[in-house]
């Protein structure tokens, strides 16, 4: 074998994530590594907590980045909050609702499913019905922004419903954080996880999470230990606490955290409302162009995520060939369909730094050319 250094091309990332990353963030990523217990690094982690609190719109003390991808953040929420035998109402309207069910079962919980069609938002009425019928349920779990379909569910209504029926909520905000309004405290959400590589436009590999005081209380009152040592948040808490005395848990992914700090700083400087507005405006621009080309969206207009545009592949088109063409000719990545939509849809991401007019224009022009071939 003769292996050389890997020199990737400069792709334009308009799939479901990772999204385009600002050069400023890549620069931060490559700054010299310091020790994970270095006082300066501990100071940076404290700032990171504040920046995450801003992004999540929360004052939750326990707001950190799990040192692993979003699927580990998901698992962290489930294994910490569920004790064996507990009932969890899980909303499923795409791939990630099903993954939630998997997590519940593996954590020893009992999943009660509330199903909605792929591409539709979670039905608030059905969830209320399920809560009524399962008064022994402890948790309501749902996906705010379904990455597999591009549907946005009403996290505010669902969060408040959970409170009304006395259950905790676990919310997948992987694709929503930074792209559409998400107000953890105002909506009374209890355990929310996200990913670094979507609308935050950071490198993949980190999962921001936040736990409400009620969620922390449930964790602290557990009768059984959390099944995962790595994801046991009662241990992680000692590591992220800003009290000066830090207990060693694992070695933090130092450089990735530099990048997250920088990407959150960019978000803070832009302002959340402005970021949401930018995603929405770019979506309108893209939508107008796609409709002109005759594309149809998978999701109805009122529940469409601006940052993830799932459109049906026109009949007679080899969808994989088009994606390869875009990649090879324009260095442009768009996403394939996932699960039930595999082979039938494309997913065009406008996430974070990718939500720019030049990306929208390139994508429309390249798609038009590809289809004309």
Task: Identify residues 261-280 at the interface with its own copies (CB under 8 A).
Answer: 261-262, 265, 268
* CA–CA gap between residue 87 and residue 218 (Å, rounded): 14
307 sits near its own copies (criterion: CB under 8 A): no
Residue 106 binds to its own copies (criterion: CB under 8 A): yes
| Contact flag: residue 27 with its own copies (CB under 8 A) | yes
Kindly tell me which of 75 and 319 has the beta carbon lying closer to its own copies: 75
**Among 42, 68, 124, 340, which residue interacts with its own copies (rule: CB under 8 A)?**
68
Residues in a beta bridge with 87: 110, 137
Q: Is 347 a binder of its own copies (CB under 8 A)?
A: no
Cα-Cα-Cα-Cα dihedral sign, residues 144, 103, 190, 122: positive
Tell me, letter by letter, the H, E, C secondary structure of 114-181. EECCCCCCCCHHHHHHHHHHCCCEEEEEEECEECCCCEECCHHHHHHHHHHCCCEEEEECCCCCCCCC
Among 42, 57, 61, 69, binds its own copies (CB under 8 A): 69
Closest CB to its own copies among residues 41, 118: 41
* 256 part of the interface to its own copies, by CB under 8 A: yes
Is residue 365 at the binding interface for its own copies, with CB under 8 A as the rule? no
Stretch that binds its own copies, among 4-12, 208-216, 271-279, 299-307 (CB under 8 A): 4-12
Does the footprint of its own copies cover residue 175 (CB under 8 A)? Answer: no
Tokens found for residue 298: 């998978």
Say how far apart CA 365 and CA 51 lie, in whole Å. Answer: 37
- Considering only 113, 327, 340, 371, the residue that binds its own copies (CB under 8 A) is 327
Q: Does 3 bind its own copies (CB under 8 A)?
A: yes
Residue 149 and residue 16: Cα distance in Å, rounded? 10
85: CB partners within 8 A, 6+ apart? 108, 109, 110
Site size with its own copies, rule: CB under 8 A: 78
Q: Site map for its own copies, 213-252, x if CB under 8 A?
A: ------------xxxxxx-----------------xxxxx
Q: Cβ closer to its own copies: 29 or 310?
A: 29
User: Phi/psi at 112 (nearest 5 deg)?
Assistant: -105, 115
| Cα–Cα dist 339/94, whole Å | 8
């Amino acid at each position: 074998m003769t292996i050389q250094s890997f020199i990737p091309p400069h792709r334009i990332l308009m799939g479901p994530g990772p999204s385009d990353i600002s050069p400023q963030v890549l620069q931060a990523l490559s700054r010299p590594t310091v020790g994970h217990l270095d006082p300066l690094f501990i100071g940076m982690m404290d700032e990171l907590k504040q920046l995450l609190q801003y992004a999540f719109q929360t004052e939750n003390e326990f707001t950190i980045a799990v040192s692993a991808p979003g699927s580990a953040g998901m698992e962290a929420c489930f294994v910490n909050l569920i004790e064996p035998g507990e009932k969890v109402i899980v909303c499923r309207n795409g791939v990630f609702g099903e993954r939630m069910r998997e997590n519940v079962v593996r954590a020893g919980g009992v999943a009660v499913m509330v199903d909605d069609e792929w591409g539709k938002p979670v039905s608030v009425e059905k969830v209320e019905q399920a809560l009524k019928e399962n008064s022994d349920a402890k948790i309501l779990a749902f996906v705010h922004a379904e990455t597999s379909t591009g549907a946005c569910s009403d996290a505010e209504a669902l969060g408040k419903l959970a409170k009304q029926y006395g259950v905790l909520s676990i919310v997948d905000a992987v694709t929503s954080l930074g792209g559409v309004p998400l107000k953890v405290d105002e909506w009374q959400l209890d355990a929310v996880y996200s990913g670094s590589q979507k609308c935050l436009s950071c490198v993949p590999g980190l999962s921001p999470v936040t736990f409400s005081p009620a969620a922390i209380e449930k964790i602290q009152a557990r009768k059984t230990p959390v099944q995962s040592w790595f994801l046991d948040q009662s241990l992680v808490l000692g590591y992220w606490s800003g009290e000066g005395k830090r207990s060693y848990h694992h070695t933090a992914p130092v450089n990735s955290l530099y990048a997250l700090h920088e990407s959150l700083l960019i978000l803070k400087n832009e302002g959340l409302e402005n970021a949401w507005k930018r995603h929405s405006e770019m979506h309108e621009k893209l939508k107008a162009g796609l409709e002109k080309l005759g594309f149809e969206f998978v999701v109805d207009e009122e529940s469409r995520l601006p940052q993830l545009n799932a459109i049906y592949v026109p009949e007679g088109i080899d969808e994989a060939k088009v994606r390869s063409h875009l990649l090879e000719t324009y260095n442009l990545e768009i996403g394939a369909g996932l699960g039930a939509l595999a082979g039938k849809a494309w997913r065009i991401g406008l996430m974070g730094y990718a939500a720019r007019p030049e990306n929208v224009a390139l994508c429309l022009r390249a798609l038009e050319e590809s289809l004309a071939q």
